[in-house]
Amino acid sequence: MSESWVFVAVFALIALSIPLIGLLMAFALRPKRSGPIKNSTYECGLETIGETWIQFKVQYYLFALVFVLFDVETVFLYPWAVAYNHLPLFALVEMFVFLFILGVGLVYAWRKGALEWV
């Protein structure tokens, strides 16, 4: 098993080298004629107005918060699902309770308008 993980590490390095090789090849081949107009921000040919890095709509962050809740839930569900066939009937009841509490959480977020895109 440990040699599988060695392979994964090697594969990660090879995967990272793919874009680097591409960038190097393009660096050798491409023309290099830059200019101030060419390097300006691409917004329909007009000068860009105002700062880009501003405070953003809060709705995106609400979705991220609900996401964290459900992602952690999934982390608990995966081992339960894998071991399910060896567990007693009580495991099913326990998971029902767990999912029920989460369901209540989802309904709460829904009612509070966290899932509305305003």
Partner 1 sequence: MTDAWVVLQASGLRESLAGLLSRLPEGAIAPTVELLMAVLKATAIVLVIQLGMLYSTWLERKFIARIQDRVGPNRIGLFGLGVPFADMVKILTKEDITPTAAHRWVYNLGAVLVVPPALLGFAVIAFDRHLIAADLSVGILFFFAVASTSVIPIFMAGWGSRNKYALIGAMRAVAQIVSYEIPQVLSLVGVLLLAGTLGVNELIASQGPLGDGGFPGVWFVFLQPIAFIIFLIATSAEIERTPFDIPDAESEIIAGYHTEYSGIKFGMFYLALYFATIAAAAIGAILFLGGWQPPFAFLAFVPGWAWMTGKTVLLVLVFMWLRGTLPRLRADQLMAFAWKILVPLTLVNLLLTGLIGKLLYAAEQPPLVVFAAFTVSNAVLLGLLLWLIAWWRERDGAPAVRFDAPLAPSGRTA
Number of residues that bind partner 1 (CB under 8 A): 67
Task: Kindly give the residue spans of alpha helices, DSSP state H, lying in the chain.
Answer: 2-29, 59-83, 89-111
Rounded Cα distance between 115 and 107, Å, is 10
Residues 67-106 that bind partner 1 (CB under 8 A): 67, 70-71, 74, 77-78, 81-86, 89, 92, 95-96, 99, 102-103, 106
**Beta carbon of residue 10, minimum distance to partner 1 (angstroms, whole number):** 4
Structure tokens, 18: 């793919």
8-state DSSP, 115 = T
Q: Give the x/- contact pattern for partner 1 in 15-44, rule: CB under 8 A.
A: xx-xxx-xx-xxx-xxxxxx-x-xxxxxx-
